[in-house]
Structure 1
Amino acid sequence: MSHGPALAPDATSARRAHAVGASRRTGMVMLLTGIVGWLASFALTVDDWRLLRDPSYQPPCNLSPVVSCGSVMSSPEGHLFGFPNMLLGLGAFAAVAALGAAVLCGALLHRRLWLALDAGALAGVVFVHWLIGQSLYELGKICPYCAVVWTVTIALFWFLVLHSLDSGLIPVPRGALAVVRDTHWMLLVAWYGVIALLVLTRFWSYWSSRG
Structure 2
Amino acid sequence: MIERSEGIEDAPVVTLSDERGLVTTSTSPATRAHEAAGAPPGPVSGGRPLAWLLVLAGALGLAASAILTLEKIRLLENPDYQPSCNINPIISCGSVMRTPQASAFGFPNPFLGIAGFSAVIVIGVALLAGAAFRRWFWLGLQAGVVLGAVFVHWLIDQTLYHIGAVCPYCMLVWAATIPVFWYTTLHNVQRGVIPVPGTWRPAVRAVARHHWLVPLAWYVLIALLILNRFWYYWRTLL
TM-score (norm 1): 0.92
Is the aligned partner of 1:24 residue 2:24?
no
Three-state SS of the structure 2 residue aligned to 1:87 is helix
TM-score (norm 2): 0.82
Q: Offset at 1:166?
A: 1.4
Structure 2 letter corresponding to 1:98: V
- The residue correspondences of 1:5-84 to structure 2 (distance < 5 A) are 10=6, 13-14=8-9, 17-84=41-108
Partner of 2:213: 186
Distance 1:73 1:112 in 2: 36
How many percent identity over aligned positions?
A: 46
Distance 1:136 1:180 in 2: 30
Three-state SS of the structure 2 residue aligned to 1:151 is helix
- The residue correspondences of 1:84-103 to structure 2 (distance < 5 A) are 84-103=108-127
Distance 1:176 1:14 in 2: 32
Higher relative contact order (CA 8 A, sep 6+): 1
**Which stretches of structure 1, 4 residues or longer, exceed 4 Å deviation after superposition?**
none
Is the aligned partner of 1:201 residue 2:196?
no
Partner of 1:176: 203
Three-state SS of the structure 2 residue aligned to 1:18 is coil
The number of residue pairs the alignment matches comes to 203
Report which stretch shifted further, 143-152 or 104-113.
Answer: 104-113
Distance 1:112 1:73 in 2: 36
Please, which of 128, 141, 149 is the counterpart of residue 117 of structure 1?
Answer: 141
Structure 1 letter corresponding to 2:148: G
When you count helix as a share of all residues, which structure comes out higher?
Answer: 1
When you count strand as a share of all residues, which structure comes out higher?
Answer: 2
- Runs of 5+ consecutive residues of structure 1 not aligned to the other structure: 1-8
Q: Offset at 1:13?
A: 3.7
Please, which of 135, 158, 162 is the counterpart of residue 138 of structure 1?
Answer: 162
Deviations 1:127-164 (A, max 9, x none): 11110011011111010000000011011000001110
Larger Rg: 2
RMSD: 1.6
